């Protein structure tokens, strides 16, 4: 049986958005794409997408509007202003970036006021998972609405319903702070043994054979050992944005934020040392407090 997909618009074809848009095209989804930097969307035209001249142009024929934008200010600027918001009536907006729960609820209210429907669906995973359709998609919103767009979202990977709008956004922040915490803990350990002249192989092998191990350590280990943080899947600057959102969300719930405060300071220091565009594993530079000539960001 052939699945008939609704027409879709994809706004934001950056590092993660581009391979996600490719997945839609590979699955036969009629797609219009737009990106603030037009050159990042242009190659999708060769794969069958209609490359729109503006966000408003992208959504004009769409039944589903997918957002993979940097942050909520970008969503406010691109989606929640005229002429785009005036074209959302009858359309489903699926917000897939990382924003705060309160921001997601605000976006939902604005979209619904304009006559549209809203679903949040942030993802866990990066470029390799997007290319392999292995992103973990977490949906927040009405179950019936999720069912309407399920054939589209299933193109990205496993899908689960988390709860109402705001629930998936909160879960995504909780997961992203875990990314930052694990990377910081391991990079700190590497830096400590290096500074004391202990062969790093001992640290690596003992951690790997213990309950302390995480597969994410091995994925980032070549970068830490080679000090090469170029060609990122997830840049430092984006992780800092997410850690700050998580800190603010945690504080709003009365939770302790000292760990998140420390993570933010390390990431800020990393950016100050010129590695903001590098892979988030470059936070090792912030931990060491210096950027040597052997570091590539």
CATH number for 8-164 (one of 2.40.50.140, 2.20.25.240, 3.30.360.10, 3.40.50.720): it is 3.40.50.720
Residue that the structure tokens 């359709």 belong to: 133
Statement: the pTM of the whole predicted model exceeds 0.85: yes
Nearest to 73 by CA among 112, 115, 41, 106: 106
- Over the stretch 128-142, which tens digit does the pLDDT of each residue have? 999 999 999 999 999
- Considering the segment(s) 170-288 as one domain, its CATH architecture is Orthogonal Bundle (1.10)
The DSSP letter of residue 228 is: B
3-state DSSP assignment of residue 209? coil
The residue ranges of DSSP E strands in the chain, in sequence order, are 8-11, 31-34, 50-51, 64-67, 92-95, 117-120, 123-124, 136-140, 159-163
For residue 95, pLDDT over 70 is answered with yes
User: Rounded CA gap, 150 and 246, in Å?
Assistant: 28
The DSSP letter of residue 7 is: P
* In the chain, where the domains are located: 8-164, 170-288
Mean pLDDT of the region 155-174 = 98
User: Rounded CA gap, 106 and 101, in Å?
Assistant: 9
Q: What is the pLDDT of residue 4?
A: 77
For residue 97, pLDDT over 80 is answered with yes
- Over the stretch 221-278, which tens digit does the pLDDT of each residue have? 999 999 999 999 999 999 999 999 999 999 999 999 999 999 999 999 999 999 999 9
């Amino acid at each position: 049986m052939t699945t008939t997909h609704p027409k879709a618009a994809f706004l934001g074809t950056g590092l993660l958005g581009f391979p996600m848009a490719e997945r839609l095209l590979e699955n036969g989804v009629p797609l219009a794409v737009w990106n603030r930097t037009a050159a990042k969307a242009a190659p999708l035209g060769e794969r069958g997408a209609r490359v729109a001249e503006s966000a408003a142009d992208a959504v004009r024929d769409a039944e589903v509007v997918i957002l993979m934008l940097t942050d909520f200010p970008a969503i406010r600027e691109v989606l929640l202003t005229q002429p785009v918001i005036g074209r959302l009536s009858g359309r489903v907006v699926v917000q897939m970036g990382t924003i705060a729960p309160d921001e997601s609820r605000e976006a939902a209210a604005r979209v619904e006021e304009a006559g549209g429907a809203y679903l949040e669906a942030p993802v866990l995973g990066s470029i390799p998972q997007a290319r392999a359709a292995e992103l973990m998609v977490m949906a927040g919103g009405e179950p019936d609405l999720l069912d309407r767009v399920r054939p589209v979202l299933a193109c990205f990977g496993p899908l689960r319903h988390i709860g109402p709008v705001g629930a998936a956004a909160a879960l995504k922040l909780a997961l992203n702070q875990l990314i930052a915490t694990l990377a910081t803990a391991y990079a700190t350990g590497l830096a400590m043994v290096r500074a004391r002249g202990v062969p790093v192989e001992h640290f690596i092998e003992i951690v790997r054979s213990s309950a302390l191990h995480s597969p994410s350590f091995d994925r980032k280990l070549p970068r830490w050992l080679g000090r090469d943080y170029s060609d990122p899947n997830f840049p430092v600057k984006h992780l800092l944005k997410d850690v700050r959102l998580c800190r603010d969300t945690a504080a709003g719930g009365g939770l302790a934020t000292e760990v998140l405060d420390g993570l933010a300071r390390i990431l800020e220091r990393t950016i100050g040392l010129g590695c903001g565009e590098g892979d988030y594993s470059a936070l090792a530079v912030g931990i060491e407090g210096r950027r040597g000539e052997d570091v590539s960001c």
